[in-house]
Amino acid sequence: MGLWVETGKAVIQNTEAQDAANRSLAQAYKTLGESVPSKEINDFINQNTRFLPSMFAAEQGFASLARAGFDNTTQLRLMNDALDLSVAKGISLDQAVTILTAGSQGMSRGLLDLGISSKEVNAALAKGSTEGEKFQELLALLEPKIAGARDTTGGLDQNTNRLNEEWQHLTSQGQLLPDIIGGVEGKLADLLIFLSTSDATNGFFSDMQQSLIVIISLFEVLNYQMITATNNWANATFGNDPNSIAGRNRNVGRAGPMYRSLTQS
């Protein structure tokens, strides 16, 4: 049961994180008068799954860059820079994005931390007469220093990041895991009906029917336990707040007919 409680927590927490990222993206791109470039953001996440500890941080990073007024092309460039910068400096992705959106002064401090001399920084700043030009000069100084830094991420960290992203994706859609279990249960039930009614069930296949009944029963119990554990945790954490993700996605958690018949027998 403890496993299902932890899984339930992940479902609620990651769905909340995804919901927050979606709201942040919608608000940020609204200030630009544009729709959220979902394909480009998803492509970036998919291409860098090995290097991103959190897909939600990547989505929030795009929102921050949009909020700072950068166009879509520059956002993608800066997100790639932020990813390399985070590895090069050993900081989080959101901290790297903050450095890149802090203007020329913030960028200057970031460059100094990377070992770039103040003489080089001042020379780059002198080339620009406007804030935008200074930023571009500093970016041109920064990018060669951090290019490919993400590739130095260790193999274990890359595999961990990949698993984290898959888990975040799987558990960020509300009651997705119970739905999957319920779907498997339904398919097994369909197969059982076929074996019970088809002329093709003579011999070996007819012997499978009792085993399928047991397997379907186990899936139904698993589904019921997961939903119940998730709802118990959601109730304890969020109460009956209908505006929370838990409130909007809470499953009533009723046992199916086969489970009821098993417990009543």
pLDDT digits (tens, 9 = 90+) for 91-102: 999 999 999 988
Three-state DSSP class for residue 31: helix
More confident residue, 143 or 172: 143
Helices (H), 127-239: 131-146, 155-170, 176-197, 204-238
Euclidean distance between the first and the last CA atom of the chain, given in angstroms as a whole number: 23
Average pLDDT of the chain, as a whole number: 75
Domain spans, the chain? 2-155, 174-264
Could you tell me the sign of the dihedral formed by the alpha carbons of 124, 127, 132, 137, in that order? negative
Pick the range with the lowest mean pLDDT from 26-35, 48-57, 91-100, 223-232. Answer: 223-232
This prediction has a pTM of: 0.64
The distance between the two most distant Cα atoms of the chain, rounded to a whole number of Å, is 86
Out of 40-49, 107-116, 183-192, 232-241, the most confident range is 40-49
Question: Residue 15 pLDDT > 80, yes or no?
Answer: no
Q: Which residue has the tokens 């898959």?
A: 166
Q: Are 45 and 58 spatial neighbours (Cβ–Cβ below 8 Å)?
A: yes
